[in-house]
Amino acid sequence: MQIVKYVFQQHGDERGRLVALEEMKDIPFEIKRVYYLYETKERVHRGFHAHRNLEQILICIHGSCDVLLDNGTEKKVISLEKPYEGLFVPNYMWHEMYNFSSDAVLMVLASEYYKEEDYIRDYEVFLKMCKKDEDDDTV
């Protein structure tokens, strides 16, 4: 499984640091939505879904957290702990977020508006969809 982690350009000087993100340049899609998770309770796991169309970039702009990515065949855990790093989460990628530090702020840039119909929330259904995709590819 290929993990795409962006390292954004940092503009730093004696005053501090700044990261600027522009759609279709630093971010590979048009940003339709931004949301962020904060004050996540200890030991909480979030996510547990994949998307049909949505693409996202996860940036832990403060603190740290871990992200499990699962494409139906392979699983990988990625730690996010730098405000200048972004993890690309493509469609059809099951994801879970956990190990949030108490000060973690996880910001998500999303390519689509919020749409419940885009969610795949049942892991067995997700696995079947991955399997079907593989079978289609081999024909």
How far apart are CB 10 and ligand TYD at their closest, in Å? 27
Using CB under 6 A as the binding rule, whether residue 38 contacts ligand TYD is answered as no
Strand partners, 89: 56
Three-state DSSP state, 115 = coil
Using CB under 6 A as the binding rule, whether residue 47 contacts ligand TYD is answered as yes
* Residues 64 and 101: beta-carbon distance below 8 Å: yes
51 is catalytic: no
How far apart are CB 37 and ligand TYD at their closest, in Å? 6
Annotated catalytic residue within 49, 51, 62, 95: 49
Q: How far is Cα 92 from Cα 108, in angstroms, rounded to an integer?
A: 17
β-bridge pairing 46-51 and 119-120? antiparallel
Using CB under 6 A as the binding rule, whether residue 62 contacts ligand TYD is answered as no
Residues acting as catalytic residues: 49
What are the residues binding ligand TYD (CB under 6 A)?
Answer: 33, 35, 46-47, 114
